[in-house]
Amino acid sequence: EGIKNNWEQILKGASGLDRWILWADTDKSFALTPESLEKVVSFAASLEEHGCIAIVFTVSNPVMPYYISKMKAVIGIPFFSSESG
């Protein structure tokens, strides 16, 4: 439920914009259950139709590359990630 609310807030904030970029910073404790990851991947797949032109993640934990690979497999927009200390 928390993930759904977060995504709804993202889309609400972007409503009315023709184009926008989703940027997210993850901390070292960030983790998703398999079910939550499915929800995030499903949402990421729908971002382009809501005007999102790119996704940017700052990666600060070892599991994020796995999550990112799952999202990259389903999205049709540029996806950038970088490691942070």
Domain that holds residue 16: 2-83
pLDDT at 3: 65
Name the β-bridge partners of 23: 56
3-class SS of residue 31: coil
| Count of domains forming the chain | 1
pLDDT at 44: 85
Q: What are phi and psi of 22, to 5 degrees?
A: -90, 120
3-class SS of residue 40: helix
Residue 72: partners with Cβ closer than 8 Å, 6 or more residues away: 79
**pLDDT string in tens for the chain (85-residue length):** 566 777 788 888 888 888 999 887 777 777 788 888 888 888 888 888 889 999 888 777 777 788 888 888 888 888 887 776 5
Distance in Å from the first CA to the final CA of the chain: 30
Rounded to two decimals, what is the model's pTM?
0.71
Q: Which CATH number covers residue 79? A: 3.50.80
